Chains A and B, each alone.
Chain A
Amino acid sequence: MTLLEWRDDFRIGIEEVDHEHQEMIGLINQLHAALGSERSGERVEAFLGDIFAGISAHFALEEKVMRARHYDGLAEHKADHERLLDDLRDMMDEHAAGAVLDDQAFAARLGEWFGAHFRTQDARLHKFLAR
């Protein structure tokens, strides 16, 4: 089963950002599947590393787009990005420290993490861009 489904209302209207959102969802789903099928620490760590690098780059791109369009919610949105990256790093550290991850709880945390950001910050950006 997939954890996160791409929905059209996630779309913010900028092709490259939407494209990356879909990529991120794909990555998170892969991680979820990996967690479900095996407990291979290395593979999970690598997935987390991929997600971290990918999301860092994605946020950098999104911030560039917001800056270019003089988005008034940039500071708040960026702070949320930083909070999300911080959380992700926590998960990575927990995993590295050998904490036994409850795969469901772990995946749910990731999914929620992304979904909440979509519903609030990205939705607001979408509204701003549609104006």
Chain B
Amino acid sequence: MNAIKRGLRALFLPLESAFEWAFGARLNPVTQLGTLGWFLFWIVTVSGIYVYVFFDTGVTQAWESLERLSRDQWWLGGIMRSLHRYASDALVIVVLLHALREFAMDRMRGNRWFAWVTGVPLIWFLYACGITGYWLVWDQLAQYVAVTTTEWLDTIGIFAEPIARNFLDSERLSGRFFTLMAYIHIAVPLLMLLAMWIHIQRHAHARVNPHRWLGIGTLAALTLLSLVRPAMSQAPANLDAAPFTLGFDWYYLTVYPLLQRMDGRWLWLILVGGSVFMTLLPWLPPLRRTAPARVDLPNCNGCARCFADCPFGAITMVARTDGLKFEQQAAVSDSLCMSCGICVGACPTATPFRRAGDLTPGIELPQRSIARLREQVVSAAATVQGELRVLVFGCAHDAGSAALADGSTAVIAMPCVGMLPPSFLDFILSRKHAEGILISGCAAHDCYERLGDQFTEQRIANERDPNLRGRVSRDRIAVSWNNPSRHASLRDDLARFREHLQAMSGQQAAASGPSAWRPPVAGAPQALRIAGQAVAYAAIAACVGYFATHPPFSYLGKDEALLKLSFSHAGQPLKPCRRYTPEELAKMPFSERRPTSCERGRWPVSVEIDLDGEPLYRGIHEPAGLWNDGPSSAYARFEVPAGRHRIDARLRDGGDPQRFEYQTSKVVDLTPGENFVVDFRATDGGFVFGRAQRDAAQRSGQ
């Protein structure tokens, strides 16, 4: 499992670095896949509502209404329809990458199990939305989706009668079932929205909007794609013919081609089993658990700064329990705490300045006490020498700050740099423990503990309590945010920080900037970076547009036809009914008297189909219902070569194994792509062959 994660990280990290080069940290799409998902969801919702206004939910009018929308109103309706499709496709990419990345970075442990586990059903909802959406267009792809989905659902065996029978052929097409799909296509996204809301509940300050320019860029790219390659329907559905090849949306229908080769039950097992396995991932080894933060009541006055800064909502403010005259105190939920220490960095009593008693702040990590941190700072400072001594605070997920230690650089490791209270920076510089401080953390806006980098910068820049004291020179405090693959960049930042410190010591009174120092971004000119962004948008849009229809999928061989056997027929009762004798009737209460006594239970229905004298199908179908008194039903699909065939069909619905109550033979000419149905209706005298039915209907119509 760890090897998989390492492999995925090796893929993700360079990609993230490349995107950061082009987009900058704030706009980097790879580090805000979740918010991008929300944004795409809203695009799909808005465009979906627009398309729904013009959409006709009747099965015969649906295709035409969409065709009109795309052709007569291409400038808005057509774009909306295309956005609806392409944003949905992009959503699949974003959601899957998001899940994969959180897995690769191991961001599903501890408290995060909640977001991970609630994310799994979201994937199911997403696919349900997409599949029902393709259904509604009622073109050939929709026909394929309808038939394949219902056949697949039938393999679970929860429906009394195969629901695929709703789409058997054009005569038996159920308009009501189709309209039901329209409502499911609205209901599932609503459920999905609810689930999305639950998904982010355990994250404090959860962001649901991407950076504005990233949103604008995404919308622009999708709109351009919609103009260049509008989403169109394929030929209208015709249930009497099976489609040969289909433009295929590989994002939503990925697993469907498997159903050509594989029993649907196996596919259910794989997908459900995979989801269960995915759900269990947060509890699979290697587990790491450090002690949660602890509140020290004598030092807590209930100021709520830790509550405001906890990225995981692990801290609540509760009524005072120790009798002191404060209203509230902080309380840590052990199960929610991730032990990042960001609360310690927020606590006003977490200072390194010597006190009468112990250096115990109102809240701290038992394994990482403030008193020890102070000791580490003082002893680390004592080990470094030279004119420019630099103390580095590195987090557990940075680009290897430990390796920076040398004669004039000391490194202090922390769980997250957000744990460092600003008063430590003041202490180090004012007490001359070092000439400069470098804070090294995760990639900007991608803190492993969610908000450590932002809070650190805001505290230094006087934008967030607790502030760094105004008089402390920000020019002596540098920040360097890098993903773990960018050790060279971190080393380079330290070197440039030293140069900066050197230059400062030359001029005595250097004006201090308002926020932490960072090396000026050198390298690529703005134009090149914008070009890089354009390339990224174009590549993603092209990827979305291409796999939404390509490569085409062959449903049926060129010279094949479909033969479907489907019926619902009640077998004979196990015992014939018998008339009550007058004596029996006399004994029965008046209200329960009836002429005959019928025992429940029916014979199974056995069917045999031969094609050109060779057995094609043999089946015994048990009656439905708890009392085995319902109809037996069957649904089977065969791909057969087109041409002339003799079909022999036999059906037994009674108890005599030597005898078939119904037998029919017929010679048919199957055209390529034909959908030929063998049905059975006892009221029509037995087997009904699709063509005969249609021919009869045509004759009577003439």
Chain A contact residues, CB within 8 Å of chain B: 15-16, 19-20, 42-43, 45-50, 52-54, 56-61, 63-64, 82, 85-86, 89, 92-93, 96
Contacts A19-B326, A52-B353, A53-B349 given; does A60 touch B305 at CB 8 Å: yes
Q: How far is the CB of A85 from chain B (nearest CB, A)?
A: 7
Contact among A53, A64, A86 with B351 in the assembled complex (CB-CB below 8 Å) = A53
Contact among B303, B324, B470, B471 with A57 in the assembled complex (CB-CB below 8 Å) = B303
Contact among B302, B362, B469 with A85 in the assembled complex (CB-CB below 8 Å) = B469
Q: Are A61 and B303 in contact (CB under 8 A)?
A: yes
CA distance A19 to B465 in the complex (A): 23
A-B contact pairs, 28 of them (CB 8 A): A15-B325, A15-B327, A16-B301, A16-B302, A16-B325, A16-B326, A19-B325, A19-B326, A43-B356, A45-B353, A47-B356, A49-B351, A49-B356, A50-B356, A50-B357, A52-B351, A53-B353, A57-B299, A57-B348, A57-B349, A59-B348, A60-B348, A63-B303, A64-B303, A64-B304, A82-B467, A89-B426, A92-B353
Residue on B nearest A15 in the bound complex, by CB:
B325
Q: How far is the CB of B343 from chain A (nearest CB, A)?
A: 13
Within 8 Å CB of B288, what residues of A?
Answer: none
CA distance A56 to B303 in the complex (A): 10
Residue on A nearest B324 in the bound complex, by CB:
A19
Within 8 Å CB of B357, what residues of A?
Answer: 50
Q: Which of the four size classes fits the interface of chain B?
A: 20 to 34
Within 8 Å CB of B302, what residues of A?
Answer: 16, 61, 64
Residue on A nearest B462 in the bound complex, by CB:
A82
Q: How far is the CB of A88 from chain B (nearest CB, A)?
A: 10
Q: How far is the CB of A11 from chain B (nearest CB, A)?
A: 13
CA distance A44 to B120 in the complex (A): 59
CA distance A56 to B355 in the complex (A): 14
CA distance A49 to B360 in the complex (A): 12
CA distance A43 to B355 in the complex (A): 9
Q: Are A61 and B301 in contact (CB under 8 A)?
A: yes
Q: How far is the CB of B141 from chain A (nearest CB, A)?
A: 57
CA distance A48 to B303 in the complex (A): 21
Within 8 Å CB of A59, what residues of B?
Answer: 348
Within 8 Å CB of B326, what residues of A?
Answer: 16, 19, 61
Within 8 Å CB of B452, what residues of A?
Answer: none
Residue on B nearest A89 in the bound complex, by CB:
B469
Q: Are B354 and A46 in contact (CB under 8 A)?
A: yes
Within 8 Å CB of B385, what residues of A?
Answer: none
Chain B contact residues, CB within 8 Å of chain A: 299, 301-305, 324-327, 348-349, 351, 353-357, 361-362, 423, 426, 430-431, 465-467, 469-471
Within 8 Å CB of B431, what residues of A?
Answer: 96
Contacts A46-B355, A53-B349, A56-B351 given; does A20 touch B430 at CB 8 Å: no
| Top 10 A-B residue pairs of the complex, sorted by shortest distance between their CB atoms | A60-B303, A19-B325, A56-B348, A49-B355, A49-B353, A46-B356, A61-B303, A60-B348, A57-B348, A16-B326
Residue on B nearest A52 in the bound complex, by CB:
B353
Within 8 Å CB of A42, what residues of B?
Answer: 354
Q: Are B301 and A57 in contact (CB under 8 A)?
A: yes
Within 8 Å CB of A43, what residues of B?
Answer: 356
Residue on B nearest A59 in the bound complex, by CB:
B348
Q: Are A20 and B351 in contact (CB under 8 A)?
A: no
Within 8 Å CB of B301, what residues of A?
Answer: 16, 20, 57-58, 60-61
Contact among A16, A49, A52, A89 with B327 in the assembled complex (CB-CB below 8 Å) = A16
CA distance A58 to B326 in the complex (A): 11
Given contacts A53-B361, A89-B430, 11 further A-B contacts (CB under 8 A): A15-B325, A20-B301, A49-B354, A53-B351, A53-B355, A56-B351, A57-B299, A57-B348, A60-B305, A89-B426, A96-B431
> Which of A16, A43, A46, A96 neighbours the largest number of chain B CB atoms within 10 Å of its CB?
A16
Q: How far is the CB of A32 from chain B (nearest CB, A)?
A: 15
Contacts A49-B354, A60-B303 given; does A86 touch B471 at CB 8 Å: yes
CA distance A89 to B361 in the complex (A): 18
CA distance A44 to B469 in the complex (A): 22
CA distance A82 to B468 in the complex (A): 10
Within 8 Å CB of B467, what residues of A?
Answer: 82
Q: How far is the CB of A3 from chain B (nearest CB, A)?
A: 18
Within 8 Å CB of A63, what residues of B?
Answer: 303, 465
Q: How far is the CB of A2 from chain B (nearest CB, A)?
A: 19
CA distance A24 to B301 in the complex (A): 13
Within 8 Å CB of B351, what residues of A?
Answer: 49, 52-53, 56
Q: How far is the CB of B293 from chain A (nearest CB, A)?
A: 17
CA distance A57 to B471 in the complex (A): 20
CA distance A96 to B431 in the complex (A): 8
Q: Are B304 and A57 in contact (CB under 8 A)?
A: no
CA distance A16 to B324 in the complex (A): 9
Within 8 Å CB of B303, what residues of A?
Answer: 57, 60-61, 63-64
Q: Are A57 and B353 in contact (CB under 8 A)?
A: no
Q: Are A60 and B356 in contact (CB under 8 A)?
A: no
Within 8 Å CB of B471, what residues of A?
Answer: 86, 89
CA distance A60 to B467 in the complex (A): 11
Q: Are A86 and B353 in contact (CB under 8 A)?
A: no
Q: How far is the CB of A28 from chain B (nearest CB, A)?
A: 14
Q: Are A86 and B469 in contact (CB under 8 A)?
A: yes
Within 8 Å CB of B466, what residues of A?
Answer: 56, 60
Q: Are A53 and B348 in contact (CB under 8 A)?
A: yes
Residue on A nearest B307 in the bound complex, by CB:
A64
Within 8 Å CB of A52, what residues of B?
Answer: 351, 353
Within 8 Å CB of B299, what residues of A?
Answer: 53, 57
Q: How far is the CB of B345 from chain A (nearest CB, A)?
A: 13
Within 8 Å CB of B430, what residues of A?
Answer: 89, 93
Q: Are A48 and B353 in contact (CB under 8 A)?
A: yes
Within 8 Å CB of A49, what residues of B?
Answer: 351, 353-356
Within 8 Å CB of A82, what residues of B?
Answer: 467, 470
Within 8 Å CB of A93, what residues of B?
Answer: 430
CA distance A63 to B467 in the complex (A): 13
Within 8 Å CB of B354, what residues of A?
Answer: 42, 45-46, 49
Q: How far is the CB of B14 from chain A (nearest CB, A)?
A: 43
Residue on A nearest B327 in the bound complex, by CB:
A16
Q: How far is the CB of A112 from chain B (nearest CB, A)?
A: 21
Within 8 Å CB of B356, what residues of A?
Answer: 43, 46-47, 49-50
CA distance A61 to B423 in the complex (A): 18
Within 8 Å CB of A46, what residues of B?
Answer: 354-356
CA distance A19 to B326 in the complex (A): 8
Q: Are A60 and B355 in contact (CB under 8 A)?
A: no
CA distance A49 to B357 in the complex (A): 10
Residue on B nearest A62 in the bound complex, by CB:
B303
CA distance A85 to B465 in the complex (A): 14
Within 8 Å CB of A64, what residues of B?
Answer: 302-305
Within 8 Å CB of B426, what residues of A?
Answer: 89
Within 8 Å CB of A47, what residues of B?
Answer: 356
CA distance A33 to B356 in the complex (A): 15
